[in-house]
């Protein structure tokens, strides 16, 4: 699990009531229907789209929205990493937040597309963390057993 997500999860559950985001106080979590309405679902401490390309992290400080990349602890230990993060402060009313969240997700999607890199071997496009080298994806490098020279 991403270290940042782990820290946010720890902070989330250890903060006093005054520090809990506005829309999550009380018996009903009003943010869940907003996130679900935007096509997001919980996954490994984040709320992500079905393709796992965009993510939202929740914390007492608000919401953090970005596109998802792959980071590597070691050659065999990938983790999800958020890029180009936008911070949104939760509002007392869900409508403005839903609108702002939709805009932030659209911006994150555009930013992700701008950062995609092409693999010269398979002609697919990938996020930077899925690239083995400047012009070769991780899958092609593993398949071909070389460093994509």
pLDDT tens profile 11-70 = 444 444 555 555 555 555 888 999 999 999 999 899 999 999 999 999 888 899 999 999
The structural domain count of the chain equals 2
Is 145 found in the same domain as 90? Answer: no
Is 123 found in the same domain as 95? Answer: no
More confident residue, 94 or 6: 94
Question: If we measure between CA atoms, which residue out of 91, 50, 49, 78 comes closest to residue 66?
Answer: 49
The strand pair at 136-137 and 131-133 is best described as antiparallel
Is 101 found in the same domain as 31? Answer: yes
Is 82 found in the same domain as 25? Answer: yes
Domain region containing 148: 116-149
In whole angstroms, give the CA distance from residue 140 to residue 49.
26
**Tens digits of residue pLDDT in 73-101:** 987 899 999 999 999 987 767 888 899 99
The model's pTM? 0.78
């Amino acid at each position: 699990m991403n270290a940042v997500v782990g820290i946010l999860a720890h902070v989330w559950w250890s903060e006093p009531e005054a520090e809990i985001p506005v829309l999550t106080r009380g018996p009903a979590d009003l943010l869940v229907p907003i996130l679900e309405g935007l096509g997001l679902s919980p996954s490994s401490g984040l709320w992500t789209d079905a393709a796992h390309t965009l993510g939202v992290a929740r914390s007492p400080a608000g919401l953090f929205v970005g596109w998802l990349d792959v980071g590597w602890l070691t050659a065999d230990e990938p983790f999800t990493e958020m890029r180009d993060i936008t911070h949104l402060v939760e509002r007392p009313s869900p409508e403005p937040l839903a609108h702002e969240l939709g805009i932030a997700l659209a911006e994150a999607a555009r930013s992700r597309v701008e950062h995609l890199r092409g693999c010269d071997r398979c002609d697919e496009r990938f996020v930077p963390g899925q690239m083995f080298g400047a012009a070769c994806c991780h899958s092609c490098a593993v398949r071909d057993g070389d460093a994509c020279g």
